[in-house]
Structure formats: structure tokens, C-alpha cells
Amino acid sequence: MTQRPYIIVNVAQSLNGYISGKAGRRVVISSPEDMVRVHELRSEVDAILIGSGTVIADDPRLLVDQNVVQSAIPPVRVILDRSMRAKPSSRVFDSSARTIVYTGGNRVDSRKCEIRTRDDQGLQIHNILQELHDDGIGKLLVEGGKTVITQFIEERAIDEFYLYIGDVIIEEGGLKLFTPGFEIRNIIKTVRPFGMGVLISLDPYHLQRLWKTQVKDT
């Protein structure tokens, strides 16, 4: 049986359901209060994982803000980048934290990270998670984007799921994680006001079951 880290997914969406702007345009959805929560969450995990689409669109550093939490060892940064699309100059490849890239390509360049070249089988989420578990990653935070989160939902590899609804409305044409008609109200565990937005915790078990139905129906 596959062993895996404990997995937390965190995603922010606009009032009208978008997690990104049109053509991947980066938009700030989280309120300052929510950013503090995200940095606290980061400080509690062993690793943070994102896909190359998020590296390209947002260029995050994926570090813990030391003004929020004084943490000695930053979480490992894990990047899924099948075809090495993320630029070596991306901020996630600075040397501030250990960084692992899972890829299908074997380009050698200047990025400061550990490149793990795997075949299609090796890039399946359950195999990556088994490896991370074997590396001592006990808790993993998944910060997106849509393609990556979808794989975690389909793999049924989520223990906690946080959805922050920010006080912004984004132009049509961006990415939505949940499609119209998705019966999200049936899987909400808790809802609480947070800054100028709302923090929702979803039941991961029922999310994964409902997701399957949604995919089947479309």
C-alpha cells in the first residue's frame, strides 16, 4: 500500500469563483489576514508543492515570512514540472530552501535544485507522494494550481482542504476549480469570516466523491 504524507490543500478564489485572472494573470485574492494564515500554515509543514503553471504565472518564493513566524528550517519546495517549463530564474529556484523538481525531462541548467527525472509512471502523484514520504516529509501543503489540485482530488490524497473566498471579483476567462452546479454546500465542514473574506473548510472525503460524480456528468 502506498504511504504518503499528511496532505493539506489551500486555495483562494474570488467571489465569482476564479482562482486566476484571464490568461493566468496573477491576482491577489487573499486578504492580509489570510496571507498571515497561509504563512502560519507553511511554517507547520515539511514541504510545499506546486505545479509549473503556478511557477510561471505567479513566480512565488514559497517561503515562510519571518515577520509572521520565526521558523528555523524553511519547508522543502516541491515543483512538478514535467517538461521543464519553469524558467531557471524563477524565484523558487533561489537558494533559500531545499527545492526538488519532479520532471520528465533531463535538461541541465543553472537552477539551484534537486532534479528528479522520472518516467510517466514515476510522475504519478501516488509515486511522488511515496517518495516524499520515504524522504521524511510527514506533512505536505499543496498550493496549486488547478491541474495539480485536481490530481490530488482524483487520487483521493487530501486530509484537509481550505478554500478562502476573497473580496474580489475577477474578469471572466480565468481558471475555476469548481464548475457551476458543483454542489459545494453538501461538503462544507466549517465557514468563518476571515479578514474581508471567508474561510471555508471542505470535507475532503466527500469532496473526492462529489468530484467523481461531477467529472462523470460532464
Ligand X SMILES: NC(=O)c1ccc[n+]([C@@H]2O[C@H](COP(=O)([O-])OP(=O)(O)OC[C@H]3O[C@@H](n4cnc5c(N)ncnc54)[C@H](OP(=O)(O)O)[C@@H]3O)[C@@H](O)[C@H]2O)c1
What residue ranges bind ligand X (CB under 6 A)?
11-12, 19-20, 24, 26, 29, 50-54, 57-58, 80-83, 85, 102, 123, 125, 143-148, 151, 175
Shortest Å distance, C-beta 98 to ligand X: 18
CA distance 92 to 52: 11
In this complex, which beta carbon is closest to ligand X, that of residue 28 or of residue 73?
28
Shortest Å distance, C-beta 144 to ligand X: 2
The SS3 of residue 91 is: helix
In this complex, which beta carbon is closest to ligand X, that of residue 44 or of residue 154?
154
Query: Which grid coordinates belong to 60?
Result: 512565488
> Using the 8-state DSSP alphabet, how is residue 66 labeled?
T
Shortest Å distance, C-beta 150 to ligand X: 8
Shortest Å distance, C-beta 117 to ligand X: 11
Q: List, in order, residues 6 or more apart from 1 with CB less than 8 Å away.
A: none
Contact at 8 Å (CB) between 127 and 102? no
The SS3 of residue 177 is: coil
CA distance 83 to 85: 6
In this complex, which beta carbon is closest to ligand X, that of residue 19 or of residue 158?
19
CA distance 48 to 86: 17
Query: Which grid coordinates belong to 185?
Result: 454546500
Shortest Å distance, C-beta 56 to ligand X: 8
In this complex, which beta carbon is closest to ligand X, that of residue 70 or of residue 127?
127
Nearest to 178 by CA among 7, 18, 8: 18
End-to-end CA separation in angstroms for the chain = 31
In this complex, which beta carbon is closest to ligand X, that of residue 30 or of residue 73?
30
In this complex, which beta carbon is closest to ligand X, that of residue 25 or of residue 73?
25
Shortest Å distance, C-beta 53 to ligand X: 2
The vertex-159 CA angle with 41 and 168, nearest 5°, equals 55
